[in-house]
Structure 1
């Protein structure tokens, strides 16, 4: 099975449902000398989910 390059590292315009996140990641990748993106399972993402939920409740 060939190695699949993550969308963040691909050139060209992404037209998927998550294109805004891809563009943000590409922008971060361009601004730093070294930048790594790693996938984490959603079960380990509890703090980020909690912060986002609280922000939505407050309209932020």
Structure 2
């Protein structure tokens, strides 16, 4: 799942559950900040979107490759 797809799914979920994802949206260009923001999402949000964990793993791998 690409970052834009993940962001869109999170936004849809947040709207449905009335959850504030401002922090996530504020950091969408910085991979490290995205990882930190996503890992701080409420547990129900992460459980509702299993692909978040897959995307996190992918982002973490890309971050390591860049360093």
Asked if Structure 1 and Structure 2 have the same fold, meaning a TM-score greater than 0.5 normalized by the shorter chain, the answer is no
TM-score range, shorter chain: 0.3 to 0.5
Superposition TM-score, scaled by structure 2 size: 0.31
Q: Which one has the largest radius of gyration?
A: 1
Q: Name the structure, 1 or 2, with higher relative contact order (CA <8 Å, separation 6+).
A: 2
